Structure 1
């Protein structure tokens, strides 16, 4: 046995072959395959700088980009019973919840917050697709009810960002019951005369599309977002026909009257400011940091200009 060959050389090779660059510095675009530097992707709100593909973004990062100064206050959501059906498939339901919480560092699949958007107070809710595919369970239902109550209490509009694979199978019928629960909660907004704006992101499917995601006063979608009840593959297998190009994508739904706008993520904040203030019958937002000009100062300046440049005398004509 050669000690140098069997121990020393592999040890030296392992030391000098270690990668100096962390693995998480680069992100591969799922659409075009381009390797993107993580800071570049983050600064671009998780939109590919090569093909403009809108990648997944967490609710917390979305809210930082949405609210003025990136500051917001989270709204408390009542936590339901963790495993009401004692459900178990390949894993126990509580184990899946704990794994998702560890992976996302969030309590559940929806985040609710309040803050200012273009100096307009709002309440916002956003689903996290990375948390068990953003599935709609009792917590998501409680979150939407909490968001609606907060909006009514503070007399603010509600903006909801949807992203879900549908209802949560581990909660069975209790998950499906969130469809009428959220519908009733959103009716409170309508009765209070408050705007409800929905931003549909990729993907929004299943019972979410059949309930609160399609009940807004205004529906906006991110480019190429999949928005449907049953997916295109299921439909093709059922009707045994080839579906049209881009079927159930945001642009297709816009052309067929199911959406009001398809807006790029980088332009979404300005779009929401404009629409929110319009629905509230408010004047357009002031873009600059300075306050709007004082009318008294404008009038005084006009008087000074007239005094400096008097009207010509009739004898001069």
Structure 2
């Protein structure tokens, strides 16, 4: 994990001197340049955008690492892409989309060829290979998501744990003691997508603390899977009086259609809450109480975090955005078990 700092230390010079030696922007002594070159070769350091930026030369291009996977809900993915592009354009930057499944090779390729000044990463796993890579490359980065062990990096996300606790509290305060959850595809959990674990763990902990029985059933993409997940919940949780939709918009739509076809009225027979929704749940019929996923804010802050590092301001750490609850009338006290 060789950085420009390591090169400077090995060569016995300042970081700015290493930058000048690599960029050729200023004239330096031949012996000094040779010490830097020797250190670069010995340590295996590859000059990248960071070296150019210290010397004042930038590409004004930001990479967006956004792996496209078969189980992704593409409209939601594109909302993230669009929000990153809009945030970058406000700083007169273009965005280079890296959509390959192999996130590491994409970032390494554009960084080693000096195509970009920094990177924003989405689709973040708890253990994410991109974390060590941006450290190795000294590449300015902003992560939308919270991988483990990132005190030295800039990471922004919704506080999914707080959103989960808020969901339980709203329903428990209304009198519900049996709450079902429709979750994202099981494959998200299998690859340890960070926000899934944080939401599920916090939901279970708060439900246990409030004396609420709960069950989460994952729904794969597609209407049939959504219907099966809801029917499974009703069978395995017969006292269910409230439902949390922690899933994509098409899954939520399919579940609500199933609710109506079964003759259940919301919220009289079933209170429904959309948690961390990437869609406008107030457009459903009926409109749903919602904890929105603040995609625009998350992306804007991640882009700004990358720019802060590009500009040499190395503020790091995890920033969690507090959840907001929008009451639309889809939650009330349980009249009867459904």
TM-score between both structures, scaled by the size of structure 2: 0.30
Query: Which structure ranks higher in relative contact order (CA pairs < 8 Å, sequence separation ≥ 6)?
Result: 2
TM-score where L is the length of structure 1: 0.32
